[in-house]
Copies of this chain bind each other. A is one copy, B any other.
Amino acid sequence: MPNIYDITMTVEESMQVWKNYEQKKPRISNVQNHDEGKPHESLLTMNTHTGTHVDAPLHMLAGGATIETITLERLVGPARVLDLTHVVDCITKDDLVPFAIQRGERLLFKTASSLSEEFLMDFPFLREDGAKYLADIGVGLIASDALGIERAQAEYPTHRTLMRNDVIIVEGVRLKDVEAGNYTLVIAPLKLTGIDAAPARAFLMA
């Protein structure tokens, strides 16, 4: 068997969430337990964009495609981790050109966000020109280690450029313990339907 590298954020009440907003925190409560003479069961309440998750186009495009349209075939297969830990503020086209990115590639961006358990208010994000460059190449998937692939661009041009060009967006992967290079990627979202996103388990194999 290959080595497995879990790149998923643990879903727990103390986890980092977008801009530390209270309403973005997951809630996990006990609904029955052995003290009552019953099996132990829990109730999970979470925003679909919590932790490691897959965005569907509907998230940023009115009338956009929903999460069940993103098949496992798109989410499983060869992938490459790019070391972008040196990037400050934002990832631009100029940062990406040296990687000689090819059509159809699945890419994981390792940035300063992988090194922090706290939400970084100034997390490095993919700037619009970088998104346009990747959409023009026709990459298959981009996984960001930040909880967002963009931070504060008016009208969300990074999300929208990628979504309009059929590039899958994954957010919140954890790459601290993973070196740059080639792997087999598995992104396994909950099988939700008709909505904007799904939380996922994600891992690399090598």
Contacts and interface: CB of A to CB of B under 8 A. Distances in A.
Contact of A201 (B9, B49, B190): B190
A43, A44, A194, A203: which has the most chain B beta carbons within 10 Å? A44
Contacts of A28: 192, 195
Contact of A156 (B39, B42, B47, B203): B39
Question: Could you say which interface size class chain A belongs to?
Answer: 35 or more
B40 A59 contact: yes
Contacts of A190: 11, 44, 190, 199, 201
Given A34-B62, A186-B186, A200-B201, A194 B40 contact: no
Given A4-B76, A194-B12, A45 B44 contact: yes
A51 interface: yes
A97 B34 CA distance: 34
Identical copies of this chain, number: 2
A1 interface: yes
From DSSP, what is the main secondary structure of chain A's interface residues? mixed
A39 B156 CA distance: 9
Contacts of A68: 10
Given A41-B48, A44-B45, A58-B40, A191 B1 contact: no
Nearest to A67: B42
B39 A196 contact: yes
Interface in A52-89: 52, 58-60, 62, 64, 68, 72-73, 76-77
A83 to B, nearest CB: 24
Nearest to A159: B39
Contacts of A152: none
A189 interface: yes
A8 interface: yes
Nearest to A31: B47
Interface string A86-112: 000000000000000000000000000
A14 B12 CA distance: 27
